[in-house]
Amino acid sequence: MAPAVPPPPPTKQKTATPTAATPKGTAPAPTAATPPATPSETLNNLAHAPANAVNKAKDAVNARAASGQSSVDPVTDPAAKSAAAQPAATASTGSTGVASLSPGVSATTALDAVPDASAAFRSFVANAKIGGVVAARAGRPPVAIINGRLARAGDLVEANLGIIFFSVDDEKNQVIFKDKAGATVARRF
């Protein structure tokens, strides 16, 4: 028999040296691959953080607009639904309307129309939380709990848009709001 060949000597594998956990709030020691950040670089990054966030938000809005998602479908938009429930109104006040009755015969009438409600106004009304409503009784104005606050008819419910709680239509179960331009929007309760 042939003499047995001894096995090769075992090779030593490099073992990683255990590192101590870094205390919270301190940076780990820099490695040879990444140079340490200087304090001025860190301060510059912190100073640009708000601008970077704004730019990122603008990019997201632009990307959404480019994708076509910014168009609002009136069938699924609650603000558009409440506006669609309102009768059509002309955008100008004190105008005249002309209707053709037959060839050569037309009728002209004065219109008392209110301006259309703005998108922000319709959105506020659609998203308002109406907790409870009491219609006008015995000389008392109607009262409603709107967005957690008690409001009487004529009270300002949204200062930035100039929206007031105007009245309650008890027959249609609607709360009616009016803005500073004179436009009205109703919402069922």
Quick: pLDDT tens for 148-162. 999 999 999 999 999
User: Tell me, what DSSP letter sits at residue 117?
Assistant: P
Say if residues 186 and 175 touch (Cβ distance below 8 Å). yes
| Whether pTM exceeds 0.85 | no
Whether the pLDDT of residue 75 is over 70: the answer is: no
> DSSP alpha helices (H): ranges in the chain?
39-67, 78-85, 119-127
Contacting residues for 128 by C-beta, under 8 A, at least 6 apart:
146, 147, 157, 177, 187
Q: Which two tokens stand for residue 164?
A: 């007031």
Q: Residue 47: helix, strand or coil by DSSP?
A: helix
Task: Tell me, rounded to whole angstroms, the distance of Cα 120 from its chain centroid.
Answer: 10
Of the candidates 184, 163, 185, 187, the one whose C-alpha atom is nearest the C-alpha of residue 114 is: 184
Q: Which two tokens stand for residue 84?
A: 């669609």
User: Tell me, what DSSP letter sits at residue 79?
Assistant: H
Whether the pLDDT of residue 21 is over 60: the answer is: no
Of the candidates 181, 147, 143, the one whose C-alpha atom is nearest the C-alpha of residue 161 is: 181
In whole angstroms, give the CA distance from residue 145 to residue 162. Answer: 18
Q: Which two tokens stand for residue 142?
A: 């109607």
Residue 63: phi and psi, rounded to 5, are: -65, -40
49-70 residue pLDDT tens: 778 888 888 888 788 777 766 5
Q: Higher-confidence residue: 7 or 81?
A: 7
